[in-house]
């Protein structure tokens, strides 16, 4: 077999090996996340997991959708859970961090607002203004007052 053919075959094999390793890592993380999920939120009968990546997966438990993400440094690794919730104002789905069962209960009994709606309620706009923009606005107002 000539070099070109062997090289292409080697590249394909390496690619396949990487894909296998990726799937394995995603499966390992999903298994870890399920274990951790049960440790934090208690046992769930109806639980399905959707593998995504080596550091994230989706968990559906009793009809509630969660997202698990691997966090931490090289030496300290933990899993953070987020629950998919619907904004009580605009109906948009977003994720909200949950650390325990009471957090989940809170979200269920008092549905939160998404970031945009929170901004709108607080500042009357969804645009996040930078410090510089706010200073410029103040200066403009002052100049207007002074020039009057
Ligand atoms: Zn909203």
Mean pLDDT for 3-13 is 97
SS3 of 94, please?
strand
CA of 90 to the centre of ligand 1 (A): 4
Q: What is the DSSP track for 58-97? A: EEEETTEEEEEEEEE-SS-EEEEEEEEEE-TTT--EEEEE
Q: Parse the chain into domains and list their residue ranges.
A: 3-113
pLDDT of amino acid 91: 94
| Residue 95 Ramachandran class (φ > 0 left, ψ -120 to 50 alpha, else beta) | beta
Mean pLDDT for 45-59 is 95
pLDDT digits (tens, 9 = 90+) for 29-46: 999 999 999 999 998 989
Rg of the chain in Å (alpha carbons): 24
CA of 139 to the centre of ligand 1 (A): 32
For the whole model, what pTM was predicted? 0.75
CA of 47 to the centre of ligand 1 (A): 28
CA of 9 to the centre of ligand 1 (A): 52
Name the DSSP letter for residue 63: T
CA of 20 to the centre of ligand 1 (A): 40
pLDDT digits (tens, 9 = 90+) for 72-83: 877 888 999 999
CA of 133 to the centre of ligand 1 (A): 25
Contact (CB, 8 A) for 72 and 55: no
pLDDT of amino acid 144: 84
Contact (CB, 8 A) for 37 and 48: no
Beta bridge partners of residue 36, listed in sequence order? none
């Amino acid at each position: 077999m000539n070099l070109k053919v062997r090289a292409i075959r080697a590249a394909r094999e390496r690619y396949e090996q990487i894909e296998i390793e990726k799937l394995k890592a995603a499966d390992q993380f999903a298994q870890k996340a399920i274990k951790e999920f049960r440790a934090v939120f208690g046992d769930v009968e109806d639980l399905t997991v959707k593998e995504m990546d080596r550091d994230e997966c989706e968990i559906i438990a009793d009809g509630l959708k969660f997202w698990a993400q691997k966090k931490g440094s090289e030496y300290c690794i933990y899993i953070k859970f987020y629950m998919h919730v619907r904004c009580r104002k605009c109906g948009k789905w977003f994720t909200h961090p949950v650390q325990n069962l009471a957090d989940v209960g809170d979200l269920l009994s008092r549905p939160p607002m998404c970031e945009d709606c929170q901004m709108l309620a607080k500042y009357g706009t969804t645009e996040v203004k930078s410090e510089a923009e706010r200073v410029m606005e103040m200066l403009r107002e002052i100049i207007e007052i002074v020039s009057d």
